Structure 1
Amino acid sequence: MNESNALRILNLPGNYLSGSLLDCWIHGQNLIYLNLRSNQLSGQIPKSIGHLINLNWLFLDYNNLSGEIPQSFQNCTSLIFLDLGNNSLSGSIPTWLGESLENLRGISLHHNAFKGNIPLQLCQLRDLSFLDFSFNSLSGPIPLCINNFFPMAEKEAEIVQEAFSIYRYDRLKSRMWKLGINYFLDKSMDLSHNMLSGEIPREVTTLIGLTHLNLSNNYLKGAIPCDIGVMKSLNSLDLSSNQLSGTIPSGISDVTYLEELNLSYNNLSGKVPSPNNFSAHAFIGNHNLCGPPLTKNCSANESLEKTECNSDRKSEGQNDGIQEKEHRHGFDPFKEKPSFYISVAIGFFTGFWGFWATLVFCKSWRHAYFCFLGNMGDKICVCVVVTTARLRRKFQRDQVVE
């Protein structure tokens, strides 16, 4: 087939396609856009999709697909957006998603049966702007390295302009970009309805470009990060149905564009920050919260609890602040440890052999050193004998006197 006439777009969403996906994708190497979402497809995803080496957009969501994500997907190194949501896929999230598909800007695996931890290798996807792992069975902590998702830490105009510049010289790819522009504009992270545990990492507050953050219905504990107020692009924030404690940071009132807030059903306490334009439903299920819009009035002590975040941050000391800044700028102290151990080993080797090498190769120094040791040994023996004799005589005199 003439390459100019080869199929590059296959867009069949919302039909009644059923049965298994045919395992014939070895012939679709020129395909850029594949959309089979909202059909009735079943069975496993065929391995031959790994031959679509030029594929940018893949939508297989809202079907009945099962099994694991084929390992052959790691050959699709041109993938920009991968949507396998709302199927019956299982297994763990592959580590190679972050290791091989470095061009990924969006991943959607919601409403499946994935389990295990969120792999740290995903943090290698530095261009990621959309992440949806909601409604699975993922466990373990939220990776601290999520601040590596640079587009989530940039303003909206910057990421959209940068994304469009990739395709502006290719009319077909430019069209594909326009079809998926909402995924670039909607910088979102949804990890809700899983079994994630641990604390909300402070690193999440560096993602100042996020418009939607949903961590609800997990087993997260600890305090809401005090810096939450710097995430001024947030349009919705849902931390409900966890085990969060402490006070609500006052900075949350500074999030100008926040239209949807849900902190319900946690163990939060103290006064609800003001001003706020949210209904009581955003805070219900926290029996120790008080102040408008809740009906419970605050006592004097509860009103003072709003300074808890500030006092906690001061008590952590200046060193902790320095470490956080270094981590945000890509400095990882754990990565520096090998060089520390190497320097210690070099110092020990130099000092040890610097001393013993002189004794091995210099006869006069060696003779003098061992004579010195011999004399010191003799002096110590004489001192011990003399001291012992004196103590014995003194003990005998004391007995005679008695």
Structure 2
Amino acid sequence: MKTWLYRSTIYIPFIIGIILLEELWAQIALLIGLIFFSVKTIRETTSVKTGVTITETLYSHMLESMPDFVCYKDGDGRWLYVNEFGKRLYCMQEINYIGKTDTELGELIPFFKESFEYCRDSDQKSWEVGENTRGDEAFYIPSGEFKTFDVIKIPLFHPDGSRKALVTIGRDISQLKETEAIVLQREKLGVIGELAAGIAHEVKNPITTLQGFVQLISESGTVDKYYTQVMKVELDRIHIMSSEWLSLAKPQAKTKTPCNIIEALDYVTSLLQPEATKESVVLDWEPTWPQVEVMGDRQQLIQIFINIIKNAIEAMPAGGYVFISCQVVDSSIILSIKDTGIGISKERLKHIGQPFFTLKEKGLGLGLTLTTKMVQEHKGTLEITSEESVGTVVKVTLPIYEENVA
């Protein structure tokens, strides 16, 4: 996999790795599932043992040498096979794991009890869905490292529909996740830097007020109670703005909690209002919509909307409007950001979101790529429609937090 070096020594291997190799990795996982299915089927249906033995030996060598976790369970969740990588990962070299369930292995290897319980629950979801599932699984290992795996689960069924086996393949993407966090932070700091002028303007206003009252107090020689009240309000404004921007800039651990999406949007519009005013752009947004929560990382959700709305503002160098609205449909909320900018041609629209493609004179073209990825991490979708000389509409659809679904 190649590594590209762009401005300020920003290394960006994870984007290329994920986008160019993601489908290949999925196909490899499916191939492994097919191998297990084929070998088992051959053994059940043929009496020619020699060919099967040779085939099994070749497959076994291949699976044992893979740098990925590979596991095979029967329809009742009992472990029948795990490759060498998996044994080392879960400290199972000295454990007789065959025929045991995740719950039983959790008792034998207490350090991984929580991880085995998670595996059991995610297995059950795969069986219920009845088709291949994919997701991240993260946990600590005895060395103290925090590992993240891209896991694909493949349920296999008998002809009568009963459960036959479950193949699990996991690829260690810990380094990709670390690099991704670095690039996301760089992107975030880049946005903050571009908005610095607006923040300077916002801070300048209360400072000017404070200077005026200090001069009045100095000239009069007395301290009026009204003056101190106003000065306190202005100092509080500066403190709040400073705290919010420090919170936005500070790297945050990804923790998903119920998040009020309307409050997050209201925060973003307030944050971007100075820049919008400077660019003669009106942000048309009334936070009077139903208070809806989504399960997510608040900092990432804020970053998603900053990226989208900031792009909309920049698409209107001569000024215009950004209309922000939301709509609840079934168990999802659809947030729409529409601008009256120059629009995007159909040809260019096809490439929007691809790494290193950008409509800006400056920038890496990673903003929307990262935004799309963050939306997907929240089990959502991002859709863009545009018409030249009319404007662009970006729709973000996110699942509503279950307790809020009627």
* TM-score, shorter chain, exceeding 0.5: no
Q: TM-score, normalised on structure 2?
A: 0.22
More helix by share: 2
Highest Rg: 1 or 2? Answer: 1
Alignment TM-score, normalising by the size of structure 1: 0.22
Greater length-normalized contact order (CA 8 Å, ≥ 6 residues apart): 2
